[in-house]
Structure 1
Amino acid sequence: MADSKIILITGANTGIGFEVVKALYSADKPYTVLVGSRTASKAQDAISAIQTEFPSSTNQLVPLVVDIESDESIQKAHDEVASKFGKLDALVNNAGAQFDRDITSGALTEREAWNKAWNVNTAGTQVTTTTFTPLLLKSGDPRILFVTSGASSLNNTVHRKLRMDHSPDAGWPKTGISVTSYRSAKTGLNMLMREWDRLLKNDGVKVWAVSPGLLATGLGGSVQAMKAMGAEDASVAGPFFRAILEGERDGDVGRVVTRAGVQEW
């Protein structure tokens, strides 16, 4: 469809990204959604599931292999989008991961986990945004969304839903839940968003960080574990992101937006 908005969502085969794809595919406005995934098979599986759920949609879903830990993969994805579409209307930087539990299990050393947390959530997102910006600048209404977290707020480091509402007892080692590398990387992502808002303001690019709330995805180990912590169903993310892409939060450009308003820094 010549008038459809072309939206790229990274990490779109599961969790929040998957729900955003569903919301756009089922919309009554024309969209071509590029379903970003690290493998073609996972992207295609997600597409098949969504098309089965919404068989009457006339929108388009296009698989796109993109691994944001690989510069080569990011560049190859860019070249494919440039060749097929010549532009990009919105980039939803959704791909992210949490590695703190791998420290506890011994699967990763502390340094390895921290490096991976920043590589995926911040550095990989930065490289992806840099690579795709020239295509965004060819759009008449370019938008960039960075998926952040309520746990990234410096103003609210006490996070009750994550069961971090008190300081542990004196002594070492400390026990209990800790997602410090993830929280720190997402706080860094908020600054990354602020920089992109500054850099692209005069190019007419609208930029946000989006804090969708504590949702039941595989990020915390399993959907069931997240629900046990009080997480909401991930499906609430779809309409929220679509509303931002369709202009409902244009008054909050350059901020961290939540479904209820604006998240404090």
Structure 2
Amino acid sequence: MTETTALVTGANKGIGREVAARLAERGMTVLLACRDRRRGELAAREIGGDVHALLLDVTDEGTIRAAAAEVGERFGRLDVLVNNAGISGDVSAQTPSGAGLDVLREVFETNVMGPVMVTNAMLPLLRRSAAGRVVNVSSGLGSLSNMSDAAHYMSGLPPMVAYPMSKTALNALTVQYAKELAADGILVNAAAPGACATDFTKDLPFVITRTASEGAAIVVRLATLEAGGPTGGFFDDQGAVPW
């Protein structure tokens, strides 16, 4: 893995940072992408290994293009892309009957459009890899099966648009990229890391004990699949998650 290059978006904290650290432990060159280069450089130093900060805002096409050019110039190709950056939006403003379109636009811009723009910008570099891997960090809340199954705890969660819808859309996007890129040998999968104790969940009205490191495990597993591994799937620690 010493010549493998990985890029992780939203990687200066939380699950993204843990993914970056685990990939670095495997000997990969890791590009820790985030909106604030200073924070990225600090996180890269703290992680150690062959980790480099990369300025990239998934909602800003200019920074995406610049990041792709920088990766191409410095490394020549990209082997692993982890689309981790995401936002929940204002959860209190996501009741279906009352949510404003501005909330939907904000969340979809980061959680759906962002992965599209980043993936498309990095595709020429991924196609140069002998074993390209793309992992979209989704959520169990994106499972229509779980959310509508009366026997599943998720069906009892308060109704909410924007965030769950964005993750369902990201799952659908994963399938379409997997179909297109199968001929290139690029495996594309979605990961459900579970609710972890990070800044992303700190304002929820209940205690979460699962760590970011635990949540990162399934992402790393999908990022390091052997040839012939699954593609176009949705997975958590236990295996396939129903759509």
Normalised to the residue count of structure 1, the TM-score between the two structures is 0.82
SS at match of 1:63: strand
Corresponding position: 1:207 with 2:204: no
* Structure-2 separation of matches of 1:89 and 1:227: 39
Q: Which amino acid in 2 is paired with 1:36?
A: A
Normalised to the residue count of structure 2, the TM-score between the two structures is 0.89
Q: Deviations over 1:71-123 (max 9, x none)?
A: 1110010011011011000100000001133637xxxx722111011100001
Identity over the aligned pairs, expressed in percent? 30
Q: Would you say the 8 A contact 1:215–1:226 is kept in 2?
A: no
Tell me which of 168, 189, 195 is aligned to 1:187.
168
Tell me which of 221, 227, 239 is aligned to 1:261.
239
Q: Which amino acid in 1 is paired with 2:225?
A: G
Deviation at 1:219, TM superposition (A): 1.9
Tell me which of 225, 228, 232 is aligned to 1:247.
225
Deviation at 1:198, TM superposition (A): 0.6
* Structure-2 separation of matches of 1:216 and 1:82: 35
* Structure-1 separation of matches of 2:78 and 2:131: 10
Runs of 4+ aligned residues of structure 1 deviating over 6 Å after TM superposition are none
Q: Which amino acid in 1 is paired with 2:51?
A: L
**1:28-39 correspondence to structure 2 within 5 Å:** 30-39=27-36
The residue that corresponds to 1:197 in the other structure is 178
Structure 1 residues 185 and 239 mapped into 2: Cα distance closer, same or farther (>3 Å)? Answer: closer
Corresponding position: 1:233 with 2:206: no
The residue that corresponds to 1:156 in the other structure is 146
Q: Would you say the 8 A contact 1:100–1:181 is kept in 2?
A: no
SS at match of 1:155: helix
The residue that corresponds to 2:23 in the other structure is 24
Q: Would you say the 8 A contact 1:216–1:226 is kept in 2?
A: no
* Structure-1 separation of matches of 2:210 and 2:177: 30
SS at match of 2:145: coil
Tell me which of 45, 48, 54 is aligned to 1:48.
45
Tell me which of 114, 123, 134 is aligned to 2:113.
123
Structure 1 residues 47 and 178 mapped into 2: Cα distance closer, same or farther (>3 Å)? Answer: farther
Deviation at 1:65, TM superposition (A): 0.3
SS at match of 1:91: strand
The residue that corresponds to 2:82 in the other structure is 92
Deviation at 1:251, TM superposition (A): 3.7
Q: Would you say the 8 A contact 2:133–2:224 is kept in 1?
A: no
The residue that corresponds to 2:5 in the other structure is 6
Q: Which amino acid in 2 is paired with 1:214?
A: A
Q: How many residues align?
A: 238
The residue that corresponds to 2:93 in the other structure is 103
SS at match of 1:144: strand
Greater radius of gyration (CA): 1
Deviation at 1:132, TM superposition (A): 0.5
